[in-house]
Structure 1
Amino acid sequence: MRETFGEYIKRLRTENCLTLTQLAAKLDLDSANLSKIENNKREFDQKRLILLAEVFNLDILKLRTEYFSDLIAKKIYENNCDEQTLALAEEKIAYLKSKKSTLS
């Protein structure tokens, strides 16, 4: 996906012919907050991912991937990190997973 998570939500909303007010109501938000999310001025609340998946009949695992990849990309961009940051993060994930499996 070459769009932010907010832009992704806006695209889903417009493709499904929903107004800001209609989608906001389905997500238990007010339309002003949803507009800020779509325009990348506010972060989408992780707790609403399940609702978003239900509204648009999306696979929750794929949606979580989109959401968290957006958060990670923004952090890397905001902190002016280089590409090695992702490679090192992948190594740390593998380490954490291996550590967890030895504790189980």
Structure 2
Amino acid sequence: MSRILRITLFKIPDAAHVQEAIAKYSTLTNDAKKDGKPYITSAAASPTHDDARNQGYTLVARTTFESKADMDYYDNECEAHGAIKAGLKGKLVDGPPLVVYVDA
């Protein structure tokens, strides 16, 4: 199995909401648990630079998982990820975030 690097791009128009999301991602490796243990290898988020090439994306989140199964758990069962989703509800524009993942 290879590690998974996941990049998630968000369109969050309010800079204060971007900072809230960054704060949530900064504690994700400790907050996210699977079978009672942390399972995310690394997690971080940062705002994009103000540039037309961003196409409206204002936040980039990077998460690394030991396996695709761990990423699937993150998407479907992780309470910490659920809290991030709930915190961003109603704050995004143009639909859901763009998610891309590759072997790390």
Q: How would you bin the TM-score normalised by the shorter chain?
A: under 0.3
The alignment's TM-score, normalised by the length of structure 1, stands at 0.28
> Bigger radius of gyration, 1 or 2?
1
Instruction: Determine which structure has greater relative contact order: mean sequence separation of CA pairs < 8 Å that are 6+ residues apart, divided by chain length.
Output: 2
Name the structure with the higher helix share: 1
